[in-house]
Chain A
Amino acid sequence: MELSVLWFGIAVLAWVLFFVLEGFDFGVGFLGPLLGRTEAERGAAVRTVGPVWDGNEVWLVAAIGVTFAAFPDWYAALLSGLYLPMIALLLLLAVRGVAIEFRGKHDTARWRNRCDTALAASSLLLAGTWGAVLGVLVSGLALSPGGEVHTAGWLGGLGRSLDPLFGPWAVLGGFAGVLLTTVHGATFLALRTTGVLRQRARRLTVATAPALLVVALALFIAAGHAVVAAAAALLAVAAVAAWRRAEALAFAATTLAVAGSVVAVFTAHLQTGAGTGAWVLLRSTLGPAGDVTLGAAAASPAALHLITVAGVVVLPGVIAYQAWSYWVFRRRVASGPGRRTAHPAAVGRAAR
């Protein structure tokens, strides 16, 4: 097997891990205010991701780093073509990360509420925007043969990179992103908490499933992709499992649904260039001349060889110690059965 094909697989794996792991982080972020009625309950929700969100987010660094290292042209075309949406994502990630980290660093209700609002708003926007960006990967970008988008578009040039977000695939992707993140975050919360949060998260999983099924059905009709049908089936499994209180199974089902959807998006155009023998990584809406193909975008054999050595040595270790960190924090976070005010002991413990 060619190293470039192996690295396409590793790049997709890194993106999948990012969307699976950060998917529930985003979900927990905007479900907190929805499911947690008191500040303490919201704090418990944040605490389920507190120790791990940063490590999860590094999968984005890994994904974009691997994309850059193995396919510099893919990296360049994707990021410069989606300039403003990507900037928006980065700024939202900044707001969200700081909101999580700073929430517990100052001890007033007003401060925590502000952090909760920032966390919820940024998480929701992140889920929608990432979904829309994945939608753009399906519809393609107006890439000219150099691999760049040159049409300046509306509003004095702002439309160049914003316009793709208003295509049908992007809009559908945005909705699918929010819904999928909702149910994925809910199954995670149900798995990681006790008390009221656990109950409400389970109920939410059951409640959102029909909406997701409708979106999955629409996607299936539009794309006819087998993976979409599989994702829909998995969400049905998640809903039934949540209803039957099989929380681990429900979470496993939403995990597979997210992973499958992301794989489907990244491989959407692999066959498009089959006639020419080229695998298309990023499709151009202006014709095949602008397509970014796996062979042409790949880095030199020396560079691929280097990252292969580094990846084979390092990545298994990374996965091992990340798994260990999840094991250390495996205990469920208690959220109390419907208590309205913070327990005095909790305030004392929060201060440290």
Chain B
Amino acid sequence: MTIEDLTRLQFAVTTLYHYLFVPLSISLALFTALLQTAHLRRTRRGGDDTFGRLSLLVGKLLMTTFAVGVVTGLVQEFQFGLSWSSFARFYGDVFGPTLAVEGMLAFFLEATFLGLWWFGRDRLPALVHLATIWIVAVGTTISAFVILAANSFMQNPVAYTIDAQTGRARLGSFSELLFNEVNLAAFPHTYAGAVMAGGALVMAVGVWHLLRGDYAEDTREFAAFRTLSRFGAWATLTGGGLVAVSGDVLGKVITQVQPMKMAAAEALYRTTTGAPFSIFSYAPLGSDKPTFSLEVPGFLSFLAKGSFSAQVLGIKDLQDAYAAQFGPGDYVPFIPVAFWSFRLMIGVGMFAVLVAAAHLWVSRKSRVLRPDRRLAQGLLWSVGLLPLLPLAANSFGWIFTETARQPWLVFGLFKTADGVSPGLTFAEVATSLAAFTVVYGTLAVVWVKLAFRLVRKGLPEMPAPAPAEPAADDDEFVTTY
């Protein structure tokens, strides 16, 4: 294993790990804001506080998730200088301002207002308190848009010039950078994927309580968890629909700007008219002809160009074209990873949508989930896996989009092999990777345990309104932290 491989592995591990918490934070912030808004509307009309209690539960999950997202996100901010310093020098003029704007515009909003939301319940008027969580939700959205613009530059560099003296990229128009056509499709695609992840999580929380039979059917808690499960299912379903539509647009844009990526997604070696899409395929490594394949005729052409009979460029022709354009070299990404991550992204995501649709059907109208005991026990186990489906689909999506861009770091401009920090030693990266594995692994175990405990406690009660503020020097303990 070379130092480049090890450094790439470290970046992949830390980034994929960070991205387990990001989509959950984005969507849980949105859900908390929506639930708290519903709570305020309902209680103003004299209704009960079910939505408020649900927003508290989802908000607690948000707080634990956000904490891990913040500390693992900080690592991302440093990594480009730590192990990819040549890349940071080449791309810094474009990437640096983007990161700085994201930090100033979004991170401060999220961090400060989440603190205000969590601790300010007793100290802020209800509407101001509601505004704080909406500001957090807006902050996460801005953050996603800006950072995806930086990634979109790596997929499809726009709004730059190459400095003749230094050979580095120089920033052109920032608005052109933000509204890169790849970002216009990648942002909705990613955001909808995040909504699916949070949707599946809260659906699982609701279903789990219903199946366990913790609450009698006529209790308010039972109704609340039924509402939560259906809310999550609708979010997963809606998110899934948006993921499909935006993914279709993104596929067509990528076919234009990175035809090799789409060819790799299908392992299409020769340029084909009316190219098929294989659901499953097996080919010995190194061979360009599958020994077995289950295909939908013309469907790849449809995905790539919107017509079942369109021509899709093949890997071999693209390799020849790139070699002529960029000089001799291997311009083919690792095909098995591209091929399977693309299919798993779609397949696992679709499965999550199916589960959500099935749940909406089973729990429709006044029907309640109350299967017989043995079935309920069996289902209970699988409910725990439900939130993993969209998270896995998100991860496969990133694995696909990043590995199928190789050997490029910035497509057509800068190769991955040229990005690693000069002087960095194998021992250093091996040490840091081991340290990340231990700390991140521990964090994951602790997070899962905490989230599980939080969920198991059931529906939290709304905190009683704080008594009149105690005098500064009274002797009462305040240990809400």
Contacts and interface: CB of A to CB of B under 8 A. Distances in A.
Interface of A: 40, 43-44, 46-47, 50-52, 54-55, 57-58, 60-62, 64-66, 68-70, 72-73, 75-80, 83-84, 86-88, 90-91, 93-95, 97-98, 100-106, 144, 146-150, 152, 155-158, 160-161, 194-195, 299-300, 302-303, 306-307, 310-311, 314-315, 318, 321-322, 325, 328-329, 331-337, 339, 342-343, 345-346, 349-350, 352
22 contacts: A54-B114, A54-B115, A55-B111, A58-B108, A68-B100, A69-B99, A72-B89, A75-B88, A76-B89, A83-B428, A94-B439, A101-B66, A146-B422, A148-B423, A157-B428, A158-B428, A158-B431, A302-B171, A328-B123, A336-B477, A342-B479, A346-B476
B480 A352 contact: yes
B479 A44 contact: yes
B351 interface: no
A-B residue pairs, 10 tightest by C-beta: A72-B92, A157-B425, A79-B81, A69-B96, A101-B67, A76-B85, A94-B71, A157-B427, A69-B100, A80-B85
* Residue from A44, A58, A310 having most chain B Cβ neighbours under 10 A: A58
B83 A80 contact: yes
Interface string B456-481: 00001101000001101111111111
B97 A69 contact: yes
A90 B427 contact: no
A70 B96 contact: yes
Contacts of A339: 475, 477
Contacts of A64: 77-78, 81
A311 B104 contact: yes
Given A68-B80, A70-B96, A105-B450, A84 B476 contact: no
B432 interface: yes
B306 interface: no
Contacts of A61: 74, 77, 103, 107
Name, among A69, A104, A342, A352, the residue most crowded by chain B CB atoms within 10 Å (CB to CB): A69
B112 A334 contact: no
A228 B266 CA distance: 65
B82 A86 contact: yes
A77 to B, nearest CB: 7
Given A79-B78, A310-B100, A339-B477, 10 more contacts: A58-B112, A62-B108, A66-B100, A79-B88, A94-B439, A156-B427, A160-B424, A307-B97, A322-B112, A334-B478
Chain B interface secondary structure, helix, strand, loop or mixed? helix
A76 B88 contact: yes
Interface in B213-265: none
Given A79-B78, A83-B432, A93-B74, A315 B104 contact: yes
Interface of B: 60, 63-64, 66-68, 70-72, 74-75, 77-78, 80-83, 85-86, 88-89, 92-97, 99-105, 107-109, 111-116, 118-120, 123-124, 163, 170-172, 174, 421-428, 431-432, 435-436, 439, 443, 446, 450, 453-454, 460-461, 463, 469-470, 472-481
B170 A65 contact: no
A65 B100 contact: yes
> For A65, A161, A331, which residue has the most chain B Cβ atoms within 10 angstroms?
A65
Contacts of A54: 70, 111-112, 114-115
A322 B262 CA distance: 46
A105 B60 contact: yes
B145 to A, nearest CB: 14
Nearest to A322: B112
A52 B112 CA distance: 7
Contacts of B163: 300
Interface centre among B113, B163, B439, B476 (most CB of A within 10 A): B476
A70 to B, nearest CB: 7
Contact of B72 (A94, A194, A333, A335): A94
B87 to A, nearest CB: 9
Contacts of B478: 44, 47, 333-334, 346, 349
Contacts of A150: 422-423
